[in-house]
Structure formats: structure tokens, C-alpha cells
């Protein structure tokens, strides 16, 4: 039976062009299906690839076997801006060597078991697990603060009769607030 890796991976705009299993580790070489990207500065369509490097990116395991994706990281050139633009991929962050879904899985597991356990089971360094966890925590915090739909601004005096005011911004939907001094 033919295994459809593209379907199994379920990542946007990619196709698996090679499969290799070395010991218990699966390596999947990817190709990107989009031939152009949009310049984030001038919004022109870019089709001139300056260079392509392959990064080994850890993804979720398949049947208990660790999976590494060989991901093409492409750099385009924008003639208008005279800049080199690194392609952003929706399934991984720039300069990271794990997919976002892999990082989310590690983040969730750290909440329930010890870092040592995950480090041993996933074959990751202690610092790497900690780094992923802190990174995800920061991203989640950012998401929670992004684009509140309804906010309320309040200003009140710190001390009665004193000209020292504190401003608070409250996200009415999420009920969290921040203090702006």
C-alpha cells in the first residue's frame, strides 16, 4: 500500500520528496509548493530565490519514531526594496528547529511531568525543553494580549489627594488588566 506522507504530515504548502529511516529515526525531506512569496515591506510578489538552505526540524513522532523534517529555508530578493527576505513558514518560527505543533506538545507535557522525564523520552537537552517551554509561554501571553475587542481605561489616584495617577487598561472580554505607570 502506498503511504501518502503529505496527508499524514498535514502541513500547508509542502510535499514530501524523500523518506529515510536511520535506526529508529524518520527523516522526511520536504519541498515547498509555493513558487512565490509576498514582500512584507512593499507587498510585491517575489519569485527570485537568492539561496536555499535545508534545516533539520523536529516534528511530532510517528508510531513512536522521532521525526525530523528537512525543510527548505528560502531567501528571496526584492528588487524594489533592495532587500533579502527570508521566507516565513506558518508551521515553524524563524530560527527555530522544531515545528510549532512539536513545541506546543512539549509545552503541554511540561505542565504534567518533569522536564527530566520529557528530556529523556524525547532525547532533548534539559535546556532545550526549558527554552521551548519559556518560548511557548511567552507566545501564549502575547496572544492573550493581542487585539482586545473591548477595553476600558481607568485612571485613579494612587494616594488620596496626591497627583500620582495610575492608569489601568482592562480587556473586557478576557477580564485581564495591565497597569500603565
Stretch of 11-19, 38-46, 142-150, 153-161 contacting Zn ion, by CB under 5 A? 38-46
For residue 43, the minimal CB distance to Zn ion (Å) is: 7
Query: Which cell is 32 given?
Result: 515547498
Strands (E), 79-150: 83-86
For residue 49, the minimal CB distance to Zn ion (Å) is: 15
- Assign 39 to helix, strand or coil: coil
For residue 51, the minimal CB distance to Zn ion (Å) is: 17
How is residue 139 annotated by DSSP? H
Under rule CB under 5 A, residue 86 binds Zn ion: no
Under rule CB under 5 A, residue 39 binds Zn ion: yes
Under rule CB under 5 A, residue 78 binds Zn ion: yes
d(CA 67, CA 71): 12
Total residues contacting Zn ion (rule CB under 5 A)? Answer: 6
Put residue 123 in one of left, alpha, beta given phi > 0 → left and psi -120 to 50 → alpha.
left
Contact residue for Zn ion among 32, 49, 62, 81 (CB under 5 A): 81
Under rule CB under 5 A, residue 169 binds Zn ion: no
Instruction: Tell me the DSSP string of 27-92.
Output: EEEEEE--S-EE-TTT--EE--EEEEEEEEEEEEEETTEEEEEEEEEEEEEETTTTEEEEPP-TTS
Contact residue for Zn ion among 8, 12, 15, 80 (CB under 5 A): 80
Contact residue for Zn ion among 17, 31, 33, 42 (CB under 5 A): 42
The residues that touch Zn ion, with contacts defined as CB under 5 A, are 39, 41-42, 78, 80-81
Amino acid at each position: 500500500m502506498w503511504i501518502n506522507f503529505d496527508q499524514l504530515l498535514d502541513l500547508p504548502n509542502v510535499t514530501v520528496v524523500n523518506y529515510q529511516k536511520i535506526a529508529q529515526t524518520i527523516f522526511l525531506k520536504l519541498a515547498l509548493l509555493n513558487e512565490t512569496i509576498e514582500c512584507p515591506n512593499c507587498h510585491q510578489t517575489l519569485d527570485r530565490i537568492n539561496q536555499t538552505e535545508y534545516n533539520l526540524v523536529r516534528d511530532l513522532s510517528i508510531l513512536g519514531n522521532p521525526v525530523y523534517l528537512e525543510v527548505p529555508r528560502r531567501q528571496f530578493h526584492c528588487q524594489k526594496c533592495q532587500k533579502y527576505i527570508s521566507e516565513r513558514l506558518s508551521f515553524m518560527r524563524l530560527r527555530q528547529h522544531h515545528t510549532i505543533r512539536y513545541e506546543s506538545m512539549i509545552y503541554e507535557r511540561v505542565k504534567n511531568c518533569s522536564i527530566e522525564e520529557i528530556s529523556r523520552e524525547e532525547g532533548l537537552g534539559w535546556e532545550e525543553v526549558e527554552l521551548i517551554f519559556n518560548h511557548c509561554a511567552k507566545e501564549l501571553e502575547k496572544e492573550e494580549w493581542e487585539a482586545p475587542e473591548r477595553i476600558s481605561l481607568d485612571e485613579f489616584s494612587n494616594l488620596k489627594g496626591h497627583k500620582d495617577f495610575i492608569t489601568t487598561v482592562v480587556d473586557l472580554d478576557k477580564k485581564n488588566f495591565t497597569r500603565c505607570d
